[in-house]
Amino acid sequence: MSEDQILSMLEAWDGDGVVLRFDKPTGTWMVIALHSSALGPPTGGTRLKVYPGLRDAVRDAMRLAEGMTYKWAGLGLEYGGGKAVLAITSPLDAAERRGLMHRYGKLLETLGTFFTGADLGTSAVDIAHMAERSGQVLGINRESGEAMDPGPFTARGVLAGIKAAVRHLDGAEGLAGKSVLVQGLGGVGRPLGRLLAAEGAEVLLCDAQLERAERMAEQIGGRAVPSNRVFTERCDVFSPCAVGGVLNEETISTLGCRIVAGSANNQLQVEDDADRLAKWGVLYVPDYIVNAGGAMAISLINDGMHDRDQLFQRVDRIGEAVAGILEEAAASRSTPLATARRRVDRLLADHEETLAPSSGLA
């Protein structure tokens, strides 16, 4: 795409700014999107992915950064919205990857304004390599150099959100006898499936690699579902834990679930899909609220909390946040997404009003 097209996209964005750097040794574009610093320093994960082009990488970073603003504010945590993507052109070998992470870490340290951790495509090893060059990396034990895996904490938060949504619809306090379909058995989907099984839920598992779903189903007593039935399969809860944009005008009309609550970012292709879900009779739990467990845990560790049980207890409060949003949405006859956005917009407006300088006029 042309330079003018990229500039037009950036001009239309309401964020604070976007940082671009090209890494010549690997042909990777580093894209850091800084959406808001109203509540605190822009903070969000770094994902590594092959994109069709630079436009797609920039657009993804900007959407994810805005989601982080709403995620932090929705949980009442004093961080701003930011996100980064490393747009590789093809898979890298170990040496290339380590070099990229070192150079990216140096960029982070130079900027000094963006804090980051693991995300889709980046591993604990990648985070440790970033941290060798930068103090802007979160979720890392500085003494041992070991990086924290946010997946189990994200899964725990999704579980709390699912339980809150089921309680909201059915008045049930647990998940015994409820069916939950987990799409994507990666760093969040796998631990979520195990947690659901421990809760007594009927666990349905779907992955791009059917064999992976079948192996896990055998381990936890669940059932594998082929990818071509992931939307139409009858279940109480559909939990997207893979890529974003899976809920759109075409797929929503085929859904066999009553609730959507999962860890994938940007599950809705467009915001109007929240209204489509409501019209279809599906309760949608906003993704940036229910999937915030990993980000919350990393922020709490950064603030000095290291006890795993305490971290899980704090992450469990995501269920309370979800319950509050669903109750307010029902009372106001609006969608949970619109309710969550109103809450966050009020918080951001109040904060900026508090920080606004006085005119000095009587």
For 46-84, the pLDDT digits (tens) are: 999 999 999 999 999 999 999 899 889 888 888 999 999
Maximum distance among all Cα pairs of the chain, rounded to whole angstroms: 72
Residue type at 259 in one-letter notation:
I
What b-and-e string marks burial along 211-245, b requiring 16 or more CB atoms within 10 Å of the CB?
ebbeebbeebebbbbeeeebbebebbbbbbbbebb
Give residue-wise pLDDT tens across range 282-328: 999 999 999 999 989 988 887 888 888 999 999 999 999 999 999 99
Q: How far is CA 32 from the centre of its chain?
A: 16
Question: Residue type for 289, please?
Answer: I
Q: Which residues make Cβ contacts (< 8 Å) with residue 77, sequence separation at least 6? A: 39, 40, 296, 299
Q: Using CA atoms, how far apart are residues 337 and 354, in angstroms rounded to an integer?
A: 26
Catalytic residue among 49, 71, 83, 106: 83
Strand partners for 23? 28
Instruction: Give the model's pLDDT for residue 358.
Output: 40
- Per-position DSSP letters for 30-45, written without gaps between them: EEEEEEE-SSSSEE--
Euclidean distance between CA atoms 293 and 277, whole angstroms: 24
Q: What is the pLDDT of residue 169?
A: 96
Residue 46 main-chain phi, psi, to 5 deg? -115, 120
Q: Which residues pair with 28 in a beta bridge?
A: 23
SS3 of 116, please? strand
CB-neighbour burial class of residue 359 (10 A; exposed 0-12, middle 13-18, buried 19+): exposed
| Spatial separation of the C-alpha atoms in residues 158 and 244, rounded to whole Å | 16
Q: What mean pLDDT, rounded, does the chain reach?
A: 91
Which pLDDT score, from 0 to 100, does residue 359 have? 36
Which pair of tokens denotes residue 356?
């606004």
More confident residue, 17 or 243: 17
The amino acid at residue 38 is A
**What amino acid is encoded at 328 in this protein?**
E
- Alpha carbon distances (Å) from 240 to 186, 287, 290: 11, 9, 11
**Mean pLDDT, residues 98-114:** 97
Report residue 144's pLDDT band, with 50, 70 and 90 as the boundaries: low
Residue 222 to residues 151, 155, 257, Cα–Cα distance (Å):
20, 17, 17
What is the predicted pLDDT for the residue at 361?
A: 35
What is residue 354's predicted lDDT score, i.e. its pLDDT?
55
CB 247 within 8 A of CB 267: yes
Is pTM beyond 0.75? Reply is yes
> What are the DSSP calls for 38-83, one per residue?
SSSSEE--EEEEE-SSHHHHHHHHHHHHHHHHHHHHHTT-S-EEEE
Q: In what order do the strands lie in the sheet with 202-206?
A: 223-224, 202-206, 179-183, 237-240, 259-260, 283-284
Contact 25, 96 (CB under 8 A): yes
206 pLDDT higher than 60? yes
pLDDT digits (tens, 9 = 90+) for 148-205: 788 999 999 999 999 999 999 999 889 999 999 999 999 999 999 999 999 999 999 9
Angstrom distances, CA of residue 177 to CA of 7, 201, 223: 52, 5, 14
Alpha-carbon distance of 279 to 335, in angstroms, equals: 10
Q: Are the beta carbons of 153 and 311 closer than 8 angstroms?
A: yes
The mean pLDDT of 90-107, rounded to a whole number, is: 97
Q: What is the pLDDT of residue 185?
A: 96
pLDDT of the residue at 351 = 72
Specify whether 71 is catalytic.
Answer: no
pLDDT band at residue 2 using 50, 70 and 90 as cut-offs: low
